[in-house]
Structure 1
């Protein structure tokens, strides 16, 4: 069953396709984001705000979010707990 997580501003992502949620502050991640923007594989879900998290998808795309990585991880964990209770 597909689970989805809200990554800000009405945007949702399939949690089964997320490999990692990382901070955009390190130089390697900044290079990944720049390359993804140049090649068209970046999905900007920030609505013009500062990127605080980068979701690396299994197909190589990057989803840029204005939410902190911890917030996204907590939302993903909460969603799993809700399914376990059902």
Structure 2
């Protein structure tokens, strides 16, 4: 399990991507997930610093930075 802040965690085997929330395509993905009831907000009212895309189609927002989460997961993999 990957701890994503505020006592929340996600199954690391089901993560497709951990990305920054700053780009417009990611913002659109967050809004689409909210409309489809696939958004899980784990920010506890704080600023979103990472977006986690799950293999189930769910989108999880976290207030922990995406670089920190990638480090906890085992590092950043360049493609």
TM-score (norm 2): 0.91
TM-aligned CA deviation for residue 31 of structure 1: 0.2
Structure 1 alignment gaps of length 5 or more: 79-86
1:72 to 69, 73, 76: 69
Residue matched to 1:39: 36
1:49 to 46, 49, 66: 46
**Cα deviations across residues 17-68 of structure 1 (Å, max 9, x unaligned)?**
0000000100000000011111110000000001110000001100000011
Residue matched to 1:12: 9
Structure 2 alignment gaps of length 5 or more: none
TM-score (norm 1): 0.84
Structure of higher CA gyration radius: 1
**RMSD, aligned α-carbons:** 1.0
